[in-house]
Amino acid sequence: MKTVELSTLEVSFNQLIETLLIKKKPEEQFTVKLSSERSQFTRFNHAKVRQTGLVADGWIELTLMTNQRSSFQHFPFTGNWDLDWQNAYKALQELRDEITLLPVDPYLVLPTENNTSREVKPGQLLATESVASTVLELVAELDFTGMYAGGVVIKAYGDSNGQKHWFASDSFTLDYSIFDTCGQAVKGIFAGSDWDEKAYITKINEAKEQLQLLARPAKQLIKGKYKTYFAPAAVADLLGMLSWSAIGEADLQQGNSALAALSRQEKQLSPKFNLQENFQQVLVPRFNQLGEMAAPELPLIKKGILVNTLVNSRTAKEYSKNANGANSSETLRAPEISPGNLNFEEIIASLDTGLYISNLHYLNWSDRPAGRITGMTRYACFWVENGEIIAPIENLRFDESLYRFWGDNLVDFTSFQEFIPEVGTYENRQLGGSLVPGMLVNDFTYTL
């Protein structure tokens, strides 16, 4: 997005906050949240452009609070002051009529902080007209399918207490798969704020090497326990499960958490397992839906022991805890698993005989209190014998407890980490991702 246009949006947003401050009644409080983007989406199939376009989108969520009650509305945000204020004032009037009909919320959190921040991260993205030629040049002869999404994403916040935050970041993701003639596929994600041609060439060359391995006859394995190496993308999938009723304080208090046994110190994980929120490494806003700023780093699991959960202010109020800037759903926003000592060139030799898992899918809890996760292997997964990749495998279902694969059965993490971005585009482009190493695990349980 042009700097002038970005500046216009910021000025319009600030003016909206200032005008609401003038129009609000003494007993009223409000929060205003903005989600906006200017993005290019290009979809590829069979190494050809199948769909492309530019999206300019923006929405405001206005929440009104009075007499221990609250209600909210969404309306479009364009940067055109006359139109935006017309929509905002209409929403304000409707919320005033609606809020008197609502019940009292005993755990309503009002804006009380006085934080302000402004973070603008420009990047070097591909020019709109260069995306197709740059992406497809290296894969013209392959069955290449995927989607490029790139541009600026804006998140902003303001409230009746004077808090104001503005976050804008250029970023792109290229989520792709390359298929062979038998329907096997290699999946990859290339992402960042600056397009790095050399890094892209390396990613595609690695995919081509895996594609050659996939041409071998697939090996069918019986159910059982196998030593397994999980590539960073697979580790990120497993880590994501902690955002589903595990790491949040409300889930612990309500008896829903997969980490309850860890919290009660009935179990602990491997001392090699360290997890933290790291906003210095993962580019997402530090402010949450109440404008509260999370610490730049927050340790969650340290040497296998749970040292913090994610606590938002509503949970803190309900259960007499200390809030730490968590979002409303108490989910991971900038997770990082610390690296270990397994070097890249040692992975296959250290695995020796077992499974090399590049990707997973369909993950879910099979027994949440026991921390058991079920799912499937997916793209580019291989059988390894005596330190040599022998054959691709047919898909396997697994069912295993995190207390085992991040506990006694964890051999080591890799000495390198990869950033695995969020690639969701439902409603809007998602920000952030996970910074994770690969990991080697003994006796991982495959059920069919």
Answer yes or no: are the C-beta atoms of 44 and 50 closer than 8 Å. Answer: yes
Question: Going by C-beta distance under 8 Å and a sequence separation of 6 or more, which residues neighbour residue 284?
Answer: 333, 334, 431, 432
Tokens read off for 382: 């291989």
Task: Per residue of the chain (448 residues), give pLDDT as tens.
Answer: 555 476 889 999 999 999 999 999 999 999 999 999 999 999 999 999 999 999 999 999 999 999 999 999 999 999 999 999 999 999 999 999 999 999 999 999 999 988 899 999 999 999 999 999 999 999 999 999 999 999 999 999 999 999 999 999 999 999 999 998 888 899 999 999 999 999 999 999 999 999 999 999 999 999 999 999 999 999 999 999 999 999 999 999 999 999 999 999 999 999 999 999 999 988 899 999 999 999 999 999 999 999 999 999 999 999 999 999 999 999 999 999 999 999 999 999 999 999 999 999 999 999 999 999 999 999 999 999 999 999 999 999 999 999 999 999 999 999 999 999 999 988 899 999 999 999 999 999 999 8
CA R_g for the chain: 24
Answer yes or no: are the C-beta atoms of 148 and 172 closer than 8 Å. Answer: yes
Answer yes or no: are the C-beta atoms of 223 and 448 closer than 8 Å. Answer: yes
Q: 3-211 sits in which CATH class? A: alpha beta
Q: Is 280 helix (H, G, I), strand (E, B) or coil?
A: coil
d(CA 71, CA 96): 9
Tokens read off for 326: 């968590």
The sign of the dihedral angle between the CA atoms of 246, 416, 122, 152 is negative
The CA angle 380-386-391, to the nearest 5 degrees, is: 30
Q: Where are the domains of the chain?
A: 3-211, 224-446
pTM score, whole prediction: 0.95
